[in-house]
């Protein structure tokens, strides 16, 4: 019989690692602007496994990325489709 952990994808992350990463992210957000914190909460980014293109664009707008950085982000998002 194959054990469940052997069936999991190679990028499996255990719960303690997930919790540690979440706490680190929450601590990093403590020093960010109120607008960025609102976007993170509104979009539920602390609960999601992955971010979609709309989330990334909203975060970039809220974080006021430079024009060149925003263009680079758009190029990456277009090429990943």
Domain locations in the chain as residue ranges: 11-79
pLDDT interval class at 11 (50, 70, 90): low
Flag whether the pTM goes above 0.85: no
More confident residue, 7 or 75: 75
More confident residue, 50 or 65: 65
Q: What is the DSSP string of the chain?
A: ---HHHHS-TT---HHHHHHHHHHHHHHHTTS-HHHHHHHHHTTTTT-SS--HHHHHHHHHHTT--HHHHHHHHHHHHHT-
More confident residue, 3 or 18: 18
pLDDT interval class at 49 (50, 70, 90): low
pLDDT tens for each residue of 15-37: 888 888 888 888 888 888 888 88
């Amino acid at each position: 019989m194959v054990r469940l952990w052997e069936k999991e994808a190679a990028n499996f992350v255990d719960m303690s690692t997930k919790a540690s990463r979440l706490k680190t992210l929450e601590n990093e957000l403590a020093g960010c602007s109120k607008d960025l914190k609102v976007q993170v909460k509104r979009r539920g980014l602390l609960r999601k496994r992955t971010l979609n293109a709309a989330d990334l664009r909203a975060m970039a707008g809220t974080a006021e990325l430079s024009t060149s950085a925003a263009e680079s982000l758009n190029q990456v998002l277009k090429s990943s489709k």
